[in-house]
Structure 1
Amino acid sequence: MADLRFLAGAGPSHQRGFFPEKAGIVSRLDLVSYSPCFVFLQALLGRDALSVVPNLIEFLNNSTTPFHATLEARRHLLESGFQQLNECEEWELQPGGRYFFTRNMSSIFAFAIGRKYKPGGGFHVLAAHTDSPCPKLKPVSAATKGGFLRVRVQAYGTGLWNTWFDRDLSVAGRVLRRTKNGELIHDLVRVRRPILRIPSLAFHMDRSVSSDSMKQDLESQLAPVLATQIEAELAVSCDSESPGEHEGNQSNDVHHPLLLQVLADELHCDVSEIADFELSIYDTQPACIGGARQEFVFSGRLDNLASAFCALWALLDTSSEPLSMLDEDYIRMVALFDNGEVGSEAVQGAGPQTMFQAMMRISRWLARGSTSEGVVERAIRRSFVVSADMAHALHPNNAENDVEHNQPKLHDGLVIKHNLTQNNATDAISAFLFKEVAKRNCIPTQNYSVVSDVGCCSTIDSVLAAGYGIRLVDCGLPQLAMHSVREMCGTEDIDAAFRHFRAFFQEIASLDDQLRVDA
């Protein structure tokens, strides 16, 4: 059985141990395109053996915040032989090398240089974002009302906040510590047990709650309950050896001492060491595969960790072996930005041109000693970016919200997004090239244009197109319950997206050379 799984070739090559040219996953969508051997394997091993979805589930469960998603991506890159760089230090690069760097611990950029790369060669990029809508703790989070300890939060992004009520919640994020010897460090923390809950109001206390359930006062009604006041006081008094132990660097009117104690217990440090933190609320229910035919993924943060995962897995699968870039004269890159849900303008977002700065450094280093003109400018014009976010799938209970000819569906592949106002930067050529990659590999795709009187959400693609001047196609995995605390998508769409992204890295160069527009 182990040998059969090995031959099936599911997942990145660093987990498989071999690198055949066409190794990867097979889903029910494309069994007809493969030999009877794969049909036999599908029946014998079960669907998961030939799918990347189990890897996605693990990635989702380990990526409760952008910090944790970046850490998880970093772990896989290191295991695959990628070398970590530091933006503040001088880089040393070479053709055939594989590298990555992080910014703010919440965004990550990885690239593999073709062994035949020449100055002015372009970049083929898969771009996504690591953040998702969620409540985040305010700098002054302590609040007490009605005998309860509450935590003040701010709504991050445009979430369906009513779905966060009555869920088993906890906290995760980054903690800044000042150790007893004066050292300043930061740690990632994740409290796995549920410590918070946002209770909904009983129906007979407010008869409008059933008709106005989608409306909340986010300042007062979204604050989670941490504990009852009397229990918190008992806990703090029992845990403290001296009256000043829980004062530390945070006064009691800034954050609840009980919350600080929970964080200190998780980090195995003293409360007095906690100087500050960036914490998000997350749902403790893990991601899972669901549906009567195991055809769905149920999880939080699918928008946009599903795209980030498929992009990362495609890079690992096509670039992790020493000989994988032997004949490549381009650079393959994955750019996973933070703050995509709130405009991308933060230092770790797509707006500040982090990716463009990296492209300049890479192009100039690889052209050192050369008298070639315009290496950066030529590299940018030869580059191609796939902006991968999520897309609204046809809703079974609200089908009238989409016009008849414009209904993305689950299990039908990536959705190519079009908007002539350039809120999505796809054009005819970029869409054709991306769909041609899919067509040559028997991978389904869908088209979507925004309904005229509804408008659409912006994605990082418009930021990248305007700020970088690179050709771009905007696509998304179809999903339901977008921005809910629990979203859903199709398992086959995850596999199709992975295969599509992998084929993009392998084939876009030759296709682009045939259709390049120079005028």
Structure 2
Amino acid sequence: MDQKIKRLMEFIDASPTPYHAVDNLIGMLDAAGAQRLDERQVWQLEPGAMYYVSRSGNSLIAFRMGLRFSGDTGFLLAGAHTDSPSLKLRPEKQLKSKGYLRLALESYGSPILSGWLDRPLGVAGNVAVREGSDIHSRLFVSDKPFAVIPNLAIHLNREINKGFEYNLHQQMPAVFGLARAENQEESQAGGSHAEREISEILERIGEQMAVDPANIVSADLRLFDYGPSQIIGEELINAPRLDDLAGCLAVMEAFSASEAQEATQLACFFDAEEIGSMTPGGAQSAYLRDILARIVLASRNSGQDFYRALANSACISVDASQAWHPGYPEKFDEFYTPVLGKGIAVKSNANMNYATDFTSLQIAETAAAKAHLQIQRYMARADIQPGKTIGPITASRTGISTVDVGHPMLAMHAIRETIAASDHLDMIAFLRAFYS
């Protein structure tokens, strides 16, 4: 197995939530000698040196200072998002019915719900724990499968294979155990839930973390597929959260392997893309613009230098692309649909759901030519509007010419998705050419 493909699978398996993804990316930056910056401190930046700034624990911007002043040379940015569609827990809520302990869930983004049923699920996230007079955040991953969302037997739902809409509130709460005998009394409302001062789920998490559950102040927890990433045959990667952890690692691989250039290079990893990017570390925030401004200000500033730097810059937004699905040919425009294994896709949309326009397309064409790669084009059918990416958000907030590219992918937003290994290698080579 190619080492880059092995690293991708290991990265995905070690990153069940955006918090873990950012923690692992920071580990790679630390190993490469990057210096951590604090937004509350004054920055002293050296040409050619690597730095990074994290916000909220689930967003990250890394940069390598250019050898010339940014006002003259601009920035080379590549970005991806750390989050994936998932099911989030409401850990304070206690659900119990006929002795079954269940997890109250809500949808994060737009996951395909049916894939989450009847498989071992883990729990992972970030937990705020009171320690004395302080509160510290600690990453959590369950050390074994934690829950299952069971389907109804086909004998009781004969129409299920004709299509069935799952009700997230009623049918999707996951079973994670049986109530202890002394706690099996049900509520008068029919046994759907019974309130306790500390929920059973928080007690179990506290037990694994070796903390008093009463000291758990808050938690951001999600279910995840407990099964590892897999190679299907010789070429296909089947794994959870490929959208967009594959993009994240491709950006980091290319950024880490690049050398300092005249222009400052940035690798951006934003949270909350799946829910609109409206967070302190999302693409809709001032996060990126703040970092770019501070890079210019830390060097020198004549008032217009920041705006000159933006005008001299280029950006690549890396996210998944719909790939041709042989079972649903009617859903695609046959002239503008990529297939797995034929190279990365450049994504366009007349309504600018993607940032690519006739000018920024030159960014992709130039990088692909330099890397000696073939690229594919993706446009949705004229009667279907695709999802959005961080690309148009970044372009509109900074004015930087931006192109959207992605790994061609099957089953986007499913609990497990599929890409071609060769397309991931092409993406890394493409981004390395861009950074150079």
Taking structure 2 as the reference length, the TM-score comes to 0.94
Within-5 A mapping of 1:79-90: 79-90=31-42
Residues 121 and 225, structure 2, Cα contact 8 Å, conserved in 1: yes
Q: 1:231 to 1:211 in 2, by over 3 A?
A: farther
CA distance in 2, matches of 1:187, 1:329: 39
Instruction: Please tell me whether residue 463 in structure 1 is matched to residue 393 in structure 2.
Output: yes
Task: Classify the secondary structure of the residue corresponding to 1:428.
Answer: coil
Residues 306 and 494, structure 1, Cα contact 8 Å, conserved in 2: yes
Task: Classify the secondary structure of the residue corresponding to 1:189.
Answer: strand
Partner residue of 1:379? Answer: 309
CA distance in 2, matches of 1:262, 1:444: 51
1:268 deviates by 2.2
Task: Classify the secondary structure of the residue corresponding to 1:333.
Answer: strand
CA distance in 2, matches of 1:172, 1:75: 19
Residues 148 and 174, structure 2, Cα contact 8 Å, conserved in 1: yes
Residues 136 and 280, structure 1, Cα contact 8 Å, conserved in 2: yes
Residues 126 and 137, structure 2, Cα contact 8 Å, conserved in 1: yes
Instruction: Please tell me whether residue 362 in structure 1 is matched to residue 295 in structure 2.
Output: yes
Stretch moving more, 448-457 or 118-127: 118-127
Letter in 1 for 2:138: D
2:354 is aligned, of 417, 424, 429, to 424
Partner residue of 1:223? Answer: 173
CA distance in 2, matches of 1:418, 1:255: 49
Letter in 2 for 1:53: I
Residues 66 and 130, structure 1, Cα contact 8 Å, conserved in 2: yes
CA distance in 2, matches of 1:201, 1:72: 38
> Deviating runs (4+, > 4 A) in structure 1?
231-234
Stretch moving more, 449-458 or 116-125: 116-125
Letter in 2 for 1:307: G
CA distance in 2, matches of 1:498, 1:157: 27
Within-5 A mapping of 1:333-412: 333-367=266-300, 372-412=302-342
CA distance in 2, matches of 1:440, 1:176: 47
What do residues 469-511 of structure 1 show as CA deviations (whole Å, max 9, x unaligned)? 11100111101011111111100011010111111101xxxxx
1:91 is aligned, of 24, 40, 43, to 43
**What is the aligned length?**
427
Within-5 A mapping of 1:51-450: 51-117=3-69, 119-138=71-90, 140-179=92-131, 181-213=132-164, 215-230=165-180, 233=183, 253=196, 256-257=199-200, 259-291=201-233, 294-318=234-258, 324-325=259-260, 328-367=261-300, 372-450=302-380
Partner residue of 2:191? Answer: none
Unaligned 5+ runs, structure 2: 185-193
Q: 1:187 to 1:460 in 2, by over 3 A?
A: same
Task: Classify the secondary structure of the residue corresponding to 1:472.
Answer: strand
Letter in 1 for 2:265: R
Percent sequence identity is 30
Letter in 1 for 2:276: G
1:232 deviates by 8.7
CA distance in 2, matches of 1:96, 1:232: 64
CA distance in 2, matches of 1:330, 1:232: 66
Task: Classify the secondary structure of the residue corresponding to 1:396.
Answer: coil
1:254 deviates by 6.2
Letter in 2 for 1:83: Q
Q: 1:231 to 1:357 in 2, by over 3 A?
A: farther
Q: 1:375 to 1:191 in 2, by over 3 A?
A: same
Residues 353 and 468, structure 1, Cα contact 8 Å, conserved in 2: no
1:192 deviates by 2.9
Partner residue of 1:487? Answer: 417
CA distance in 1, matches of 2:212, 2:158: 47
1:231 deviates by 6.1
Q: 1:475 to 1:232 in 2, by over 3 A?
A: farther
1:271 deviates by 2.5
Structure richer in helix, relative to its length:
1
Task: Classify the secondary structure of the residue corresponding to 1:403.
Answer: coil
1:439 deviates by 2.0
Unaligned 5+ runs, structure 1: 1-47, 235-250, 319-323, 507-519
How large is the RMSD of aligned CA atoms in angstroms?
1.7
